Amino acid sequence: MKTFSLSMPVLRRFLLPAGFLFLVTAGVLRPTPAIAESCPELLRHSFADLNTGAPRDLCQYQGKVILVVNTASYCAFTDQYGGLEALYRKYKDRGLVVLGFPSNDFAGQEPGSNRQIAEFCRLTYGVEFPMFAKSHVTGAQRNALYAELARRSGEVPRWNFHKYLIDRDGKRVQSFASSLPPDDPRLLEALSRLLDARKNLKRET
């Protein structure tokens, strides 16, 4: 039987990509120190993109108003995808970004793979807002962003399509129940205030 030995450069060639892939799928990549220094603490997380699996750094959304939503494909509220996409398209030029986090935490209503979820969202609702790989949003295994959102707002998701609204500074977090649709006046009013906040500040200075 022949045996083979690999040199250290060759080992690095194979092991480093594997290690990188592990970090991506685990969702534990962090922004570089230079980026993290100016990025709000709440956004210093990175998660795998739903469509590509590549890491997406939340610090790229600093300065925007962010609506974070835990989603599911087989829920009574699933049609809210349409409202969320409409909201995103209407206000993205004013600084809104919607971030979707698929989760199977509630009644097993998101059982599919990331690929299946991505195809469902694209083909059924034409979703273009950023979405991330399936993860936990409640309980001991919830992802780091949701743990911090719960801490800051004092509320945890009790069902699919719970909504967290984050201001441009990444400090203030408002919480909205799953039953509240994206076009509800209460959500739209809160969103409008946050979108206009920086504009009003510039007028005063």
Residue 44 near residue 58, CB atoms below 8 Å: yes
Nearby residues of 88 by Cβ (< 8 Å), 6 or more positions away: 96, 97, 98, 128, 129
- Give the SS3 label for residue 21: helix
User: Residue 44 phi/psi, 5° resolution?
Assistant: -80, 60
CA 102/CA 79 separation, integer angstroms:
14
For residue 60, give the 3-state DSSP assignment: helix
Give start and end residues of each alpha helix (H) in 106-184: 114-125, 144-153
Is 59 a catalytic site residue?
no
CB distance 59 to 76 below 8 Å: no
From the candidates 39, 59, 75, 121, give the one annotated as an active-site residue.
75
CA distance 44 to 46: 7
Q: What residues are labeled active site?
A: 75
